[in-house]
Amino acid sequence: MTVLPEHHSLRIDKLNGVFRNTTATYKYYWLLALLDTVGEGRTSIPLRSLYVRMIVHAWYPVNYFRLSFGAWDKLHEVVMRLAALEDLDPHTKPNDLEHALLFTEDTESVRAIMGLGRWVRFRFLSPWLNSSNLSDAQVMQRSQDPAHGSPYALFEDRLEVPLDWATYLALHRTVLRDFTLWNLAQFIQARNPNVPHVVDKLVRPPSRNTLTAQRDLWNAVMDHTGDLACIYTGSQLMGADYHMEHFIPYAFVAHDQLWNLVPAAPAYNLTKSDRLPSLNRHLPPFIEAHWQLATVVREHDLRSKLLEDYLTIVPEPLHRVTDRYLFGDKLRDTIVPLHGIAANSGFGEMED
C-alpha cells in the first residue's frame, strides 16, 4: 500500500485514512477529480466541474468494462443514466464527455450531475472536521476556518483549496493518484470477485494494442494450413483479409492473450463488437482453430514469445502438447467460466 509523503504542517495522516470505512466509490472519484483540477493550477473550483470529472473517471469502468460498484452506489447509477439521457456511448473521449456534461441544459442530466454532491463533498472532510454529527451547514462553516486544516473550504457553489494544500496535491499528484486507484481497485475487486484484471479496467487506456505480433503468428500458421475458415461465418479467410478477434470480449478480459484470439471475417467482427459468442455454435470451431495452431507449432517448430500465453491453459510448452482432447478440455475449462461471468456482468450474446 502507498505511504503518502509527509508535510511539516498538513495533517497527511488524515488523508492516509480518508478511505477507511468506505461503502461507496464517491470518495475515490472525488479525490481523483480534485487532483485533476488542482493539477491544472485551479484552486477555486466550481462544484459542477468536480462532479463532472468524477463521472468522466467512472465512465469507462461502468459503461465499457461494466464493473459493478455495489448495490447502493449512486455514481454507477448516475453514469448509466447520463449515457442514456445524453445519448453518449461507452467510447466517448474524456474531453468530449466533459464538455457535453458541463454544458448540457437537459434538466434531468443536470439534476443527476448535481445530485452527486449531496454527501461526498461533506463526508470527505470528516477526518479533519470530526463532522459525523454536524449538519451540512456546520461542516461548510467549519471547513472555512483555517484552524481546522481541511484540504478545502466548502461554499454553496464551489470549493477553495488553500495554497499549502494546493501545492502538496499538485507536487505529489502521481503518488496520490496511485494511492487512490490502489484503494479503489481493492474496493471494486471485492464487489466483482470473479471479474479478471479489475485494476486494468479503472482507467481508459490511451490506445488499444495493434495485435500485429499475434497476426504475424497466425499468418505463419496459415502459411502451412492454407486459408482458415472463419469460426463465425464459415467463410474462407483469404490471406491477410481478416481481423484478430477476442472470443471473450476485450471489454471483459482486458488482455490480448493469444488463447482468446482467433482470426475472423472483418464484417462479423465489427458486428459482434463487445457481445459474447454462442458457446454451442462457436466454441467447437474456436477450439479446433487453436488446435490447428498448436499442431503447426509442434510440427514446424514455430517459435514465438506469444506462445507462452498458453502456459496459463496447459501445463507445458505448446510445442510439446500432443493430446488433442486434453488441449480442448483445458481451453474449454478456461473459456466457459469466463463466458458465464461475462454474461452475468451484462455482456449480451450474439444470436445463433
Is residue 291 classed as helix, strand or coil in its secondary structure? helix
How many residues are given for the chain? Answer: 352
In this structure, are residues 118 and 78 in contact, taking their beta carbons and an 8 Å threshold?
Answer: no
Q: In the structure grid, which three cell numbers stand for residue 158, read together?
A: 464551489
State residue 151's pLDDT score.
97
Amino acid identity at 317: P
pLDDT above 90 coverage of the chain, percent: 72
pLDDT tier at 200, thresholds 50, 70, 90: confident
Report d(CA 143, CA 159) in Å as an integer: 10
CA distance 148 to 195: 41
Contact 45, 102 (CB under 8 A): no
- Give me the residue spans of the domains in the chain: 12-201, 212-344
pLDDT above 80 for 350? yes
Reply yes or no on whether the pLDDT at 17 is more than 80.
yes
* Rounded mean pLDDT, 275-289: 95
Q: Is the pLDDT of residue 34 over 60?
A: yes
* Among candidate residues 313, 64, 325, 14, the one with its CA nearest the CA of residue 165: 14
Measured in degrees and rounded to the nearest 5, phi and psi for residue 341 equal -65, -40
Q: Regarding predicted confidence, which is higher, 174 or 204?
A: 174
Q: Is a pLDDT exceeding 70 seen at residue 284?
A: yes
Q: Indicate whether this model's pTM tops 0.85.
A: no
Distant-in-sequence, close-in-space partners of 195: CB < 8 Å, separation ≥ 6: 67, 189, 201, 252, 341, 345
Residue type, 319: H
pLDDT tier for residue 272 given thresholds of 50, 70 and 90: confident
pLDDT band for position 267 (50/70/90)?
confident
Instruction: Return phi, psi of residue 174, to 5°.
Output: -65, -45
Long-range contacts of 35-40 (CB under 8 A, 24+ apart): 35/169, 35/173, 35/176, 35/177, 35/180, 38/161, 38/166, 38/169, 38/170, 38/173, 39/169, 39/170, 39/173
